[in-house]
Amino acid sequence: MGIAGSGLLMALLANAAMATGRSPAPAPHCLDARAMREAHQVDARTLAILGENDVRHRIDLAGSCPTAAVSGAASLLAREGWVCGGGNEFVRDGQALCPIAAVTTVDAREYARLARTSQASDGTASLGTVEVRGERRRGFGGSSSFCFSPRHMRSWSEDGKGVLVELSPARSGGHRYYRVELGNACPELNAAPQIGFESGLGVGVICGNPGDRIKVVEQRSETMPGAPRLMGTARIGCPISAVYPIVEEAIIEATPVEGAPSR
């Protein structure tokens, strides 16, 4: 997708046994700490973690652990690497141990909300099997788990839930479709020939951040010496409240409207 992740700079060490003889997950909601892909610290007591196969988790801590996700030396400790919220599981931050109170699976929409509200905004650790250390990133970046780049948009369609955007999966973390929810009704989209997106943070990706907007690009003819030409004019547009990827099975079929975005 060409956009960096946001919300967490974190090195995670799963206190896990070797793969040989490892027990299966104790419960369906458990997080496999050895196969995490992305993590964000939402606040001092909450983490959001993307696991394998795009399974998303919320981790609630029993107490405040405000530097767990920004120290660069934090660890997840759990028996055989299974983090389930059942006790004896911790986030270790230096010499401090922060008990994990609960682990919950969440959908893509909720995960995107948690990631957007992450208190850190300069780096996401890509988490491997056992240990991965991340570098601090400067400025804002977005992850394909809750953002998309308008320049890779192939088509779009409107339905009762907002706007459905189709992108190149190769450039959007393997995701083909994203749901764009709007903050209010947007009658301008009715029969719109073309749409564009505007990032409220000026970063070129759309995540549902404050100021993110969808715009209708109107086409009008202007007669010039020699031949007429089409001119594009973008209206003020409508605010975007949420962005998240969806699986194809969840898509309500709609006729796509082709159109490259303007920025």
Predicted pLDDT at 226: 57
Say whether pLDDT at 66 is over 90.
no
Q: What is the pLDDT of residues 205-247, one digit of tens each?
A: 999 998 999 988 776 555 555 555 444 455 668 999 999 999 7
User: How far apart are alpha carbons 246 and 249 in whole angstroms?
Assistant: 8
Helix (H/G/I), strand (E/B), else coil: 250:
helix
Task: Please report the pLDDT score of residue 96 as a whole number.
Answer: 80
Which stretches does DSSP call E strand in 183-259? Answer: 195-198, 213-223, 228-234, 238-246, 257-258
Q: What is the mean pLDDT of the chain?
A: 76
Residues 9-29 have a mean pLDDT of: 63
| CA–CA gap between residue 76 and residue 15 (Å, rounded) | 7
Q: Is the pLDDT of residue 138 over 60?
A: no
The pLDDT tens digits of the residues spanning 202-212 come to 888 999 998 99
Average pLDDT over residues 142-155: 91
93-97, 126-130, 200-204, 246-250: range with highest mean pLDDT: 200-204
Helices (H), 71-223: 108-116
Region 10-27 average pLDDT: 61
Amino acid 92: pLDDT: 80
What is residue 126's predicted lDDT score, i.e. its pLDDT? 34
Q: Residue 250: which pLDDT band, with cuts at 50, 70 and 90?
A: low
Of residues 136 and 109, more confidence is placed in: 109
Nearest to 11 by CA among 90, 65, 91: 91
pLDDT of residue 193: 81
The rounded distance, in Å, linking the Cα atoms of 37 and 39 is 7
How long is the chain?
263
Locus of tokens 């995107």: 112
Q: Identify the pLDDT of residue 160.
A: 79
pLDDT of residue 152: 93
CA 152 to chain centre: 16
∠ CA 222-225-231, nearest 5°, is: 25
